[in-house]
Amino acid sequence: MDSKIRVLIVDDSFLMRKIISDIVSSDARFEVIAKAKDGKETLDKVFALKPDVITLDVNLPVLDGLEVLKEIMQKQPTRVIMLSAHTQKGASATILALELGAVDFISKPSGEISLDIRRLKNEIVSKIKMASEIDLDKFLSTLARPTTAKPAITQESVRFKKLVVIGASTGGPRAILKVMQDIPIDIAAAFLIVQHMPEGFTLSFAERISWQSKLKAKEAGQGDIISRSKVYVAPAGSHMVIKRLPEQEENLLVLELNRNAPVNFVRPSIDVTMESAAEVFGSDVIGVILTGMGKDGLEGAKKIKQKGGFIIAQDEETSVV
């Protein structure tokens, strides 16, 4: 955009509105055109002012953030970044918001009133800039279709033919949901997902995959046995690697979690999971790289290819970033 990026700040706390507004205004590329304290005021200002980007708090009086988001996306689709408290309830609402059309989210570091949010200045600025550059029509075409399908109950098996490792960053939750909802329940494969997101959000994300797809998904735990037709989401803050149990149990693969140093500035790292999968499962690994910034997954994809595995990458045209 040649002119300034016009931003609407929404939060029920006067102090938070002031701090976030100061952060946004400190960048010459942005203009805070208005602030709103509740759901009704937000909708009035969105429809009247037509901002380029909205930072939207999940918890709002009068009309909560999710209801506001639904109204915006139905009546005047706009680029929205959710602000969420670092709680399980906040995480669940945030994952749902990403399904409903929010382009990204920022986790408040210390709850609803996070006076230390200034330390997230670089993240706030970069995500608003990123949001402003998204082709909204293309982005909205990627919205996952709601489904009421319930996972079928089948006999659990540790025997599967393919191990699918999916890695994603910005825009990934929606892309992953869109992919997973069409996977058949009886597929002879297991799925490992590494999605870059803060601690506290991966459990809710796994729950959404279970709800939206035919497969049973869980946040990976230490020592989980990898099973057919199951989905394991790497927990935020831990690398996820694959190990084969000793020879007497040679058919069993298990997950190990560790808090080793970040790789590519992130933990969990897609590279770490892909490289361990390639070492253990060889040519029967399928690596999938979806939307996101950075190079995490590049070396892992190379390793899978070297071992004879297969790589699928989302194209630029359909990627958020």
Mind telling me the catalytic residues?
Answer: 169, 196, 296
Amino acid at 264: N
Q: CA Rg, the chain, in Å?
A: 20
CA proximity to 299, closest of 290, 316, 291, 287: 287
- Residue 198 CB neighbour total at 10 angstroms: 16
Handedness of CA 262, 264, 270, 274 (dihedral sign): negative
Q: Measured in Å, how far apart are the chain's first and last C-alpha atoms?
A: 17
Q: What are the distances in angstroms from CA 206 to CA 99, 103, 191, 192, 193?
A: 13, 19, 12, 11, 9
Three-state secondary structure call for residue 172: helix
- The secondary structure of 59-122 as a DSSP string is --SSS-HHHHHHHHHHHS--EEEEEEESSHHHHHHHHHHHHHT--EEEEEBTBSS-GGGGGGHH
* C-alpha atoms less than 13 angstroms from C-alpha of 272 in its C-beta half-sphere: 22
d(CA 27, CA 31): 8
- Residue 185 CB neighbour total at 10 angstroms: 15
Structure tokens at 63: 């009309």
Query: Residue 130 in contact with residue 170, Cβ under 8 Å?
Result: yes
